[in-house]
Structure 1
Amino acid sequence: MSDFNTTDFNNPSTFILLGIPGLEAAHVWISIPFCVMYTIALMGNFTILFIVKTEPGLHEPMYYFLCMLAITDLVLSTSTVPKMLSIFWLKSREIYFSLCLTQLYFIHCFIAMESGIFVAMALDRYVAICDPLRHSTTLTNGFVAKIGLAVVLRGSILALPYPFLARQWPYCRTNIISHTYCEHIAVVKLACADICISSYYGLLVAFLVTGVDVFFIAVSYTQILRAIFSLPTKDARLKTFGTCSSHLCVILAFYIPALFSFLTHRFGHNVPPHFHIVIANMYILLPSMLNPIIYGVRTKQIRDRLLWHVTHMK
């Protein structure tokens, strides 16, 4: 316990993750919904991957993007939740500095990837609804592969400076991180140095990723909504609008908590720390749980194949 609050060390080999400060007595109870959400995320996303892989009729752009999203959600949630549960259940708060930086990289890398996949899916829906006759010729397998590669490269490259910037700072005051995982700003705030470079880079990435992606998603769905309201029948409008509104709910469940967490770290000094940390966990877990439900179970082709597999297992 001597590592918890020391002032005479330099660049510690381990950090201490406190979990949710102020709510330590409730850690076990808080872990229950998080564990349930993580279990649903694992089962749902693996189910999506299995069904799309085994059903040749689902080898289409929308389902390829759905598989990319499932893989991203699995990596993102698994990067944080197991360690968080070990803090809550086993009081295992220590994390090696190198593992902390690795976790930091994976979190920011795959958050950027998920944002890029949402843009790709919005593009797919835009072409499918606004220009359906050109959908198969525009979104070819080769084009989808290029989009996927661009999403992966963008996330990987933009997140790469985070661990390198965090590693260069001297840590000489404390090794206690008031969080459940190694978030970039939460880590570099412990440095006894001017961290303006890290802070400004985080702002730049937030603009390049969140700002640009939200803009393109908003433009796509604006055009989609215009096309929906021009459909000739009320049933067609309601059906298409129902699908798009559920997609928008998932997108909002990702961006709103992420934006709240980002702004709170920099400007929300009056926000209670425990509330901020809970929201920071929700923006990783909630979309990972909702995505396979909204995009999978509510998609007729996937739902039919899932029911077929369930009935033939008996």
Structure 2
Amino acid sequence: MSTLSIQTAPNISSSMAPTFLLVGMPGLSAIPTWWTIPLITVYFLCALGNGTILWIIALEPTLHHPVYVFLFLLSVSDIGLATALTPTLLGLALADAHIIPASACLLQMFFVHVFSVMESSVLLAMALDRTLAICLPLHYPALIGNGVVIKIGLAIAFRCLGLHLPLPFLLAHMPYCHPQVLTHSYCLHPDVARLACPGAWGAIYSLFVVLSVMGLDPLLIFLSYGLIGRVLQGLGSSEERWKAGQTCAVHLCAVLLFYVPMILLAIVDRLRLPIPQAAHTLLSYVHFLLPPLINPILYSVKMKEIRERIFKRLQPRKVGCAQ
């Protein structure tokens, strides 16, 4: 591709160039419309599934409890993440558009990471909720009330915005010593920061943001499951253990869906493992698009209250005949 070869030529600059170059799925540039249909289908299913969860929880007063409030926030982060990624993915699929303006790249980067951190923070809050419910069942209603849930929601919002609001401005004014060619089909701040000159403190702040969230959250989540596992071992009957474990199964699946591809992608990027570019790109799609697609299905199937209210809302209402 001629545009690609021109843009990847060495270009040492003291400031950010007006455009970045995105990497699409190798082998599909000649037939970009081939993967448009599955991409649009995945986004439609993400929006439909998470929109249904949001609709049910918002309209059902009986679901206005901490576990469902956290599920509501999880669906917001899922649909926001899928929406933030879609413009560049559709641009690549429909028009093979690899070039993106720097301003649009920084804006996409901001929203992708805000919703990613929101999802990670909500998964951590859900793990805390499950830990208190199983380890301290008698004190749970007093520990996790509506006031506490509101404070947790505000803390999540402050964490997302406070950590990431400075990044676009820092990255826009950093010195760059590498060609501005990204390794993904969308803009991520570690990907942009690695193009900066050595010692740029904006890149150091970017690394701090990644480690403070994506390194700390999974560690705390798995520590919480260690506490839950100890409590489950102490329960008298296998039936009680099964019942308590079922309340954590769907959340644990959501955690694995979000973190396992992310960890694999980080290992591949940091160690520069020699895997095909197509596999690397596909893994990045799985990391960002699989949780928004699968989470609504998991929670709708596994949580009886959500499933029953979906069926109830979808049933046609009976209209009485006038006498």
- The answer to whether TM tops 0.5 is yes
Partner residue in 2 for 1:89: 94
Q: Is 2:142 the partner of 1:137?
A: yes
Q: Deviations over 1:258-291 (max 9, x none)?
A: 1222333332252333322221221111111122
Larger deviation, residues 240-249 vs 141-150: 240-249
Partner residue in 2 for 1:161: 166
Partner residue in 2 for 1:207: 211
Partner residue in 2 for 1:76: 81
Does structure 2 conserve the Cα–Cα contact (< 8 Å) formed by 1:129 and 1:227? yes
Any gaps of 5 or more consecutive residues in structure 1?
none
* Aligned-partner SS, 1:95: strand
CA RMSD of aligned residues (A): 2.6
1:267 and 1:161 map into 2 onto residues whose CA distance is: 28
Larger deviation, residues 149-158 vs 164-173: 164-173
**Aligned with residue 20 of structure 1, among 13, 25, 35:** 25
Partner residue in 2 for 1:263: 267
Q: Is 2:67 the partner of 1:62?
A: yes
Partner residue in 1 for 2:119: 114
Larger deviation, residues 152-161 vs 72-81: 152-161
**Aligned with residue 257 of structure 2, among 240, 253, 260:** 253
TM-score, length-scaled by structure 1 = 0.89
Larger deviation, residues 218-227 vs 63-72: 218-227
One-letter amino acid matched to 1:132: P
Change (3 A) 1:23 1:187: farther
Does structure 2 conserve the Cα–Cα contact (< 8 Å) formed by 1:61 and 1:141? yes
Q: Deviations over 1:286-308 (max 9, x none)?
A: 11112212223321111000011
Q: Deviations over 1:45-74 (max 9, x none)?
A: 111111011110000001111111111111
Change (3 A) 1:266 1:31: farther
One-letter amino acid matched to 2:222: A
Paired positions, count: 313
Change (3 A) 1:30 1:131: same
**Aligned with residue 149 of structure 1, among 139, 148, 154:** 154
2:206 and 2:259 map into 1 onto residues whose CA distance is: 16
Larger deviation, residues 231-240 vs 20-29: 20-29
1:301 and 1:203 map into 2 onto residues whose CA distance is: 41
Larger deviation, residues 129-138 vs 224-233: 224-233
How far 1:38 sits from its partner (Å)? 2.0
One-letter amino acid matched to 1:204: F
2:167 and 2:264 map into 1 onto residues whose CA distance is: 20
Change (3 A) 1:306 1:2: closer
1:133 and 1:177 map into 2 onto residues whose CA distance is: 52
How far 1:88 sits from its partner (Å)? 0.9
Q: Is 2:292 the partner of 1:288?
A: yes
Partner residue in 1 for 2:234: 230
How far 1:30 sits from its partner (Å)? 4.2
Partner residue in 1 for 2:321: none
1:135 and 1:257 map into 2 onto residues whose CA distance is: 33
Change (3 A) 1:20 1:196: farther
Does structure 1 conserve the Cα–Cα contact (< 8 Å) formed by 2:126 and 2:251? no
Partner residue in 1 for 2:201: 197
How far 1:138 sits from its partner (Å)? 1.0
How far 1:31 sits from its partner (Å)? 4.4
Change (3 A) 1:119 1:197: same
Partner residue in 2 for 1:298: 302
1:35 and 1:239 map into 2 onto residues whose CA distance is: 38
Does structure 2 conserve the Cα–Cα contact (< 8 Å) formed by 1:65 and 1:120? yes
Q: Counterparts in 2 of 1:39-54, with a 5 A limit?
A: 39-54=44-59
Any gaps of 5 or more consecutive residues in structure 2?
319-323
Larger deviation, residues 43-52 vs 86-95: 86-95
How far 1:200 sits from its partner (Å)? 3.3
How far 1:87 sits from its partner (Å)? 1.1
Partner residue in 2 for 1:104: 109
* Aligned-partner SS, 2:20: strand
TM-score, length-scaled by structure 2 = 0.86
Larger deviation, residues 280-289 vs 170-179: 170-179
